[in-house]
Structure 1
Amino acid sequence: MIIPEPGFVISSLFHPQHADFLGKIPSGSEVGARIWLSRSKLPDVAGRIVDESDLEDEIIKDGWIVIHPETLSLVDQVKIFANASVVAGLEGSAFHTVIFVKNPTCRLLIIPRTRRENDVHNNYKLISNTKNIDQRIFPGNLRIIEDNGYRSNLAFVSRADVRDFLNAESA
């Protein structure tokens, strides 16, 4: 029996051959398509941002498209990453879907929702480095409303700062 080395190890390895194998859908990059990956309809136990829908109302006016990944098929989620110029949102597993895009051209804007405040989980860095994705992190803009560890309910310190970041980094 031959057991190959793993192609992905959480927090430490994403082999380029494994990334190439997983990347099946080519990028189309619709100019100007800016997508917000919303967590606003997830159950409270998933960890929510209590004022996320207020931010969404504001960024829709700026031309952002708000989607709820949990309502879409996996193929439709992958197509979002394949066709958007920018995909933004709060740190969460929806961002992992980009691994199924052959050569992602979208920019990722991620807002950490953990106690690391100024950083995201290392898996996001592994994926962006291996797939050569332009990824930006907007640090330290959440405060704890209800502390449940990784599933804490949070609120933005400043929605205006988040909106400014999104619009500046997507220009």
Structure 2
Amino acid sequence: MSIAVSDQVKENSALLRLDLNDTANALRVLSDAYVIPPDPTKKSGRYTNSGVLDADGNFVIQSISWSNSTEQVNSAPATPAPEEVEQLKGRYIFGGVLYGHFGHFIVESLARLWAQDAEGVDAEAYIFTAKVSTFPQKSVEKLQKLAALLGLRLPIIVARVPTQVETLYVPAQGFGMNDLIEGSAAFRTFMNTHAGAGIEPTGDEKIYISRSKLPSDRGSLLGEYKLEEYLAAEGYDIFHPQRFPAEEQIARYKAARQIIAVDCSPLHMLGYVGHKDQSAAIILRRSMVIGDYLARQLQSFKGMDAYSIDCLLDDWILQPGSRPSRSSWGEIDFGALHAKLLASGHIQNPTPWPSLTQEERSAELERIEKMHEAKFRSYNEIKVIRNKSII
């Protein structure tokens, strides 16, 4: 790991730049180290003071979790008072931050699974700090089952209070979002060896991973129903992964040869369990670079053909927001999408797809505003107003 200075955490520690190729500093073995969860009296959020301190109270840089190679999620916590500390005998692997959100869990919470196969590691469980102190045990058990399908062989425990561990292995994060999306060699090898092992491929050769039946707070495409109609006519099965157990999701992703999806978390799962003979088309649903990153994961982990397709005309932003997010809705040019899917070989019918009519577009906007009980605003309009205010 190479050192880089950060204004964000100068008061706590020097910020380190995560280098996924730095194998020499990827794992530390500590005696009597402290695993410190976020302070339950502080307002919960993504950025916390938590992680691992060594026996002398020094922050262990391998315990940092990262949004990208330069943005820390957690910074050095305070050394706990002796009366606050629980003792834990045995050998454990530090797992990082435990997230309940599916995408953050399979990307960030599982990013240290590679340590199970590291030379000299002999542990009895993973110990995590939860994003929030109220993280329910039932959720831990549910995530344990999902992680087991992706290669986890050890139980998960959560440090609810500062915990001093007799022997603690602290691996660096081996995977993540943004510029960490290709993963370390150790993480890729681990996932390609263990994820989905023993689950036989079952299902259609063409699938569209749909968002049309997700909870109302998750964004998608205006007129996704129309895209589903077009793709069903091309022989695609419209797949709603949240309605199936994880075993079946994996089986379906293994069986498919052609996959189309809007940018979404299930594509990370495909990156773990898919194979090189697949071809994936990722349709951008928001003005972000996430499609390119998802394509890079599929390419680097599996060597599959993967394409990010941008046909966005606008983003519709849930108010009072001002930027695309997981709750925004993309408005796309269906004709341009058809042309790009035809060129990539994902569809065959040369007849262009009509975009939404003005009436259909208005009905969609009315539908999502009613669903959210809030207004949506055009991102193009927001940018115009912002630029005028700057000028």
TM-score tier, shorter chain, comes to 0.7 to 0.9
Which of 274, 277, 301 is matched with 1:130 structurally?
A: 301
Deviates more, 1:161-170 or 1:69-78: 161-170
Based on CA coordinates, which of the two structures has the bigger radius of gyration?
A: 2
State TM-score, norm by structure 2.
0.39
The match for 1:10 among 152, 174, 177 is: 177
Asked if 2 retains the 8 angstrom alpha-carbon contact of 1:25 and 1:102, the reply is: no
Q: Which of these residues, 272, 282, 302, is aligned with residue 100 of structure 1?
A: 272
Q: Residue 22 of structure 1 corresponds to which residue in structure 2?
A: 191
Aligned pair partner of 1:86 in 237, 258, 268:
258
Taking a change above 3 Å as real, the CA distance of residues 75 and 168 of structure 1, as seen in their structure-2 partners, is farther
AA aligned to 2:173 is P
Amino acid of the structure 1 residue aligned with 2:333: V
Q: Residues 128, 157 of structure 1: CA spacing in aligned structure 2 closer, same or farther, 3 A cutoff?
A: same
5+ residue gaps, structure 1, are none
- Residue in 1 that maps onto 2:89: none
1:4 CA displacement: 2.3
1:5-154 mapped onto 2 (5 Å cutoff): 5-13=172-180, 14-23=183-192, 24-25=195-196, 33-101=205-273, 103-116=275-288, 120=291, 122-147=293-318, 148=321, 149-150=324-325, 151-154=327-330
Relative contact order (C-alpha < 8 Å, sep 6+): which is higher? 1
Once structures 1 and 2 are overlaid, which stretch shifts more, 1-10 or 131-140? 1-10
Considering only aligned residues, what root-mean-square deviation do their CA atoms show, in Å? 2.8
Where does residue 161 of structure 1 map in the other structure? Answer: 336
TM score, norm. by length of structure 1: 0.81
| Structure 2: gaps of 5 or more residues | 1-29, 31-168, 348-391
Instruction: Supply the distance in 2 between the matched residues of 1:144 and 1:102 (Cα, whole angstroms).
Output: 30
Say if 1:121 and 1:29 are closer, same or farther in 2 by CA, change over 3 A.
same
Q: 1: CA distance between counterparts of 2:207 and 2:273?
A: 16
